[in-house]
Chains A and B, each alone.
Chain A
């Protein structure tokens, strides 16, 4: 499979604090990659650099065949990078449907009936159709998370960045979410997914990356990464005997 995303020697420093230290990774088209790591490992910072909301201090980010390191977030979205934020940020003064329409119109470049149909389809898939005309500000946490995902999908991404979308959900809800993410994957969208709920992640992804203090700690098949002694130590808190 051709590569869709290449992160090349990316570093990020805030003052003297290094939050990303020589990160190299690639994602193939249609591939699903999971990212784990303790809080403060630099996972969200990495997403911010891929989506463009912060600039790396050095290094390059290549999407498809294009160097997007200098591109602003809206242009990266239009290029095909969709993103769901860790803390849902709904447009609370407009409806669920209108929220999704923002993604379809600006990120997806669709108009009129075409955009509308696309939104209805996505809302239907995510179980939000019944609430389509409600104000997004009136939604509970679970629905906010679904909306976050719905809007990102409406931009028709080729790469979808999911930041802890399963956090705070019940087991049953997590299962439903896994079904949805699996279905999205099946459409050929590449997925990069940060998640603390490891079993959810492992049931979907092909490959797992473990991060710690701004570095990539381990990378490979999920089972191998989880069995890695270093990963167990920093992530699961298991001491070496």
Chain B
């Protein structure tokens, strides 16, 4: 790649950032210009980006293919339910707390599922999520199988304030978790994660503590999903085990990430946009909607295995969130052949 192309790419990148910042400013002001249904759509977009980022972090960068991440959405939802209804804590304040509770649950869950590898790990995570669902079915104090409504906890908050705050939190989670994933990837932990994803034995012999790395990603993902889970049920107003611990949540995360581009920070945003577009286009087609959604996923998996953004990034070498660490090499030397004996190395 020539220097000129590099400059163009970075100019385009800055352009995209400025546009994104402007869009964000407009979105922050949305409660003053949008109606309730628009606000809810944007909030849904934001929280889907958030949960997809969490699955992408785990699978796309950590190589941990879980189909049971709904467990943390459910834990988040139920933390909101119990703390806001029974303990009388402000529902908005419950959201960060739900993240922490979810992260705390992730530690013992990890101790169980990390004993399993590959497909067994995937099935193990699913089983754990179902164990939670079935257990909560049998706790009548929090509604048992039919769940419980949150309305009474929210009644004291004026309507506009409730809608706007919920919206801002959703937006904050979508943007915050995207930036969070990006920062993790640029950090030491990010380097360790990608190493572990690509080869466990090689990581170990290069000094990477594999178990601890996996645990950190798993807990980070649970933290984000717990907050998102609480927020989601704040918008849905009713928590039940079948909905909160439904595998549909993870299916949605996987669909979005696979379509958008697994292992890229941009992927979940692109995937969510595609999902929204398809859902709007296919709203009148009834059950065909899911058939077409599934077919799109299959086609992308076969034809563009790295997803839409993966294809774009590969084709145009363009990244909004560049996570690769690059070095500038001034004089490109190559091969053993031209290599002079280097006294620098010998005397080191």
C-alpha spacing A97/B328, complex, angstroms: 11
Q: Cβ of B243 < 8 Å from any Cβ of A?
A: no
Shortest CB distance B132–A (Å): 32
Min distance, Cβ A89 to any Cβ of chain B, angstroms: 4
Closest to B1 in A: A133
- The complex places the Cα of A53 from the Cα of B325 at a distance, in Å, of 29
A108 CA to B191 CA, complexed, in Å: 14
In the complex formed, the residue of A with least CB distance to B60 is: A93
Cα–Cα distance between A229 and B205 once the two chains are bound (Å): 37
CB neighbors of A among B300-340 (8 A)? 324-327, 329, 332-337, 339
Say if the beta carbon of A94 comes within 8 Å of chain B: yes
Nearest A residue to B346 by beta-carbon distance?
A186
Q: Which of A81-124 contact B (CB under 8 A)?
A: 82-83, 85, 89-95, 97-98, 101-103, 105-108, 111, 116, 119-121, 124
Q: Which of A5-13, A69-77, A219-227, A232-240 contacts B (4 or more CB under 8 A)?
A: A69-77
Candidates A95, A102, A132; contact of B195 at CB < 8 Å: A102
Among residues of A, the one whose C-beta sits closest to the C-beta of B263 is A93
Cβ-based interface call for B115 (8 A):
no
Instruction: Verify if A78 is at the interface (C-beta below 8 Å from B).
Output: yes
With an 8 Å Cβ cutoff, the count of chain B residues facing the other chain is 37
Bound form: Cα–Cα A120–B327 in Å: 8
A-side interface mostly: helix
> For the complex, what is the distance from the CA of A52 to the CA of B193, rounded to whole Å?
21
Contact A77 B206 (CB under 8 A): yes
Q: Which residues of A contact B (CB under 8 A)?
A: 51-53, 72-75, 77-78, 82-83, 85, 89-95, 97-98, 101-103, 105-108, 111, 116, 119-121, 124-127, 129-133, 151-152, 154-155, 173, 176-177, 179-180, 183, 186-187
A sample of 23 cross-chain residue pairs with beta-carbon separation below 8 angstroms, ordered by A number, consists of A51-B205, A53-B205, A72-B204, A72-B209, A74-B205, A89-B202, A90-B198, A98-B325, A106-B208, A107-B207, A108-B207, A111-B188, A116-B327, A119-B327, A124-B342, A125-B339, A125-B342, A125-B345, A129-B333, A131-B334, A133-B326, A173-B336, A183-B346
Binding site for A on B (CB under 8 A): 188, 191-192, 194-195, 197-199, 201-210, 263, 324-327, 329, 332-337, 339, 341-342, 344-346, 348
